[in-house]
Amino acid sequence: QKEVEQNSGPLSVPEGAIASLNCTYSDRGSQSFFWYRQYSGKSPELIMFIYSNGDKEDGRFTAQLNKASQYVSLLIRDSQPSDSATYLCAVNLYNQGGKLIFGQGTELSVKP
């Protein structure tokens, strides 16, 4: 079992719709959780991080964490074509000195 798993996609949504990206992790020692956006040929860009169970909202983005289910998600409301990118879920195992473990990423395509 991979430490961090994401559906590779591609996930295709129409412009204006809600895009839902999911991520599961295997280590219950995971402390913090990150969503990065990566455009083709570019480096990852941090969108959001979350540490506590529940929802965290930032503009059109909402991160949701459920530690009991070992599940973290990212919702993108009012999706725009400019949101088309690969979204990487990353987990920080604080007890291992803070390295990030990434999933393989989910490719999102927002169609006009």
Partner 1 sequence: DAGVTQSPTHLIKTRGQQVTLRCSPKSGHDTVSWYQQALGQGPQFIFQYYEEEERQRGNFPDRFSGHQFPNYSSELNVNALLLGDSALYLCASSDRPYGYTFGSGTRLTVV
Q: Which residues bind partner 1 (CB under 8 A)?
A: 4, 31-32, 34, 36, 42-46, 49, 88, 90, 92, 94, 96-105
38's tokens: 């990566």
Minimum distance from CB of 88 to partner 1 (Å)?
5
Q: What is the DSSP letter of 97?
A: T
CA–CA separation, 85 vs 26, rounded Å? 25
Q: Which CB atom, from 10 or from 16, has the smaller least distance to partner 1?
A: 10
Minimum distance from CB of 78 to partner 1 (Å)?
26
Q: Give the closest residue to 60 by CA, choosing from 45, 43, 80.
A: 80
Q: Which CB atom, from 8 or from 14, has the smaller least distance to partner 1?
A: 8
Q: Which CB atom, from 43 or from 82, has the smaller least distance to partner 1?
A: 43
Q: What is the DSSP letter of 30?
A: -
Q: Give the closest residue to 91 by CA, choosing from 71, 69, 68.
A: 71
Minimum distance from CB of 17 to partner 1 (Å)?
25
